Amino acid sequence: MTTASADQAYADYMLHWVQTLEWPSLPVADQTLPQIQAWWRDRAAIDLEAVADQLWAWVDANGGQARSTDKRMILARMLICLASPGNQELQQRGYFEELLDLYGVAPEDIVRVLDERGIDSGVVADEPQLRASESAVENDQPARSAHLQRLKMHVLTAFFALSFLSGARPLNTSAAPTIETILIFSMALLIFLWYRFDSDQRGYQRTPMLNFAMIMVAAIAMPYYLIRSRGPEQGPRSVGVAFAVFLGSVLLSMIGMALFNAPP
For every one of its 264 residues, what pLDDT tens digit does the chain have, with 9 covering 90 and above? Answer: 687 888 899 999 999 999 999 999 999 999 999 999 999 998 989 998 889 888 988 988 887 666 788 999 999 999 999 998 888 888 888 889 989 999 999 999 999 999 998 887 765 554 444 443 444 444 456 667 778 888 899 999 999 999 999 988 877 778 888 888 999 999 999 999 999 999 988 888 889 999 999 999 999 999 999 999 998 889 999 999 999 999 999 999 999 988 887 554
Q: State how far Cα 2 lies from the chain centre.
A: 30
**Which residue range forms the structural domain that includes residue 149?**
141-260
Same domain flag for 153 and 118: no
**What pLDDT does 137 receive?**
47
In angstroms, what CA-CA distances link 172 with 141, 263, 264? 50, 12, 14
Domain boundary among 138, 167, 193: 138
What is the per-residue burial (b if ≥16 Cβ within 10 Å, else e) of 87-112?
Answer: beebbeebbbbbbbbbbebebeebbe
- Helix (H/G/I), strand (E/B), else coil: 136: coil
Residues 122, 195 within the same domain: no
222 and 117 in a common domain: no
CA distances for 17 relative to 23, 25, 66, 204, 264, angstroms = 11, 16, 22, 36, 67
Q: Maximum CA pair distance of the chain?
A: 79
Last residue of a domain, one of 108, 138, 168: 138
Residues 166, 103, single domain; the answer is: no
Q: How far apart are CA 118 and CA 12, in angstroms?
A: 12
Please list the alpha-helical segments (H only) found in 172-217: 176-202, 208-216
pLDDT at 12: 94
Q: Are residues 203 and 174 in the same domain?
A: yes
Same domain, 128 and 9: yes
**Angstrom distance (rounded) from CA 61 to CA 196:** 13
Residues 220 and 99 in one domain: no
Q: Specify whether 35 is located in the same domain as 128.
A: yes
**pTM score over 0.85:** no
Please state the separation of Cα 77 from the chain's center in Å: 12
